[in-house]
Amino acid sequence: MRKIKYKEFLDKIHGCWYGKCLGGAAGAPVEGIKKIIQVDDFTEIYDPELPNDDLDIQLLWLDVLENKGTVISSCDLADAWLEKCWYPFSEYGYFLKNYERGIKPPYSGIVNNSFFSEGMGCPSGLKLPSS
């Protein structure tokens, strides 16, 4: 097994986060568009001011772990999202409505949601239990 020094490890972690930040900022303006998009220069669509669920969700989960410890439930994560994130769009909008109606994760992101079914905020391929 190859061992690396802490400084090199930290550099790699920072590189991952910078790449994720840039990718999210470049992709956010076209996220959810379900067709081929012709983009010749990402500066045409790059907007670092847009919310970035690809980063926010991981930071929110980290906050939950830091505050509650490692024994958490999906409802702990859902409650944190409900309290701290306002995203009403795409699968998150479906989640918010469904969760407020008492539909618990993992189903809260997929009930009445056929369009955004492959989004990060709802489990892909999950089927509702048959009644």
Half-sphere exposure of 75 (CA within 13 A, CB side): 5
Q: Which of 2-6, 63-67, 91-95, 97-101 has the lowest mean pLDDT?
A: 91-95
The full set of domain ranges for the chain reads 1-50, 51-131
Average pLDDT over residues 101-110: 88
| DSSP conformation letters of 112-130 | T-STTTTSTTS-TT--PPP
Q: What is the residue-averaged pLDDT of the chain?
A: 83
- What average pLDDT does the segment 96-114 reach? 88
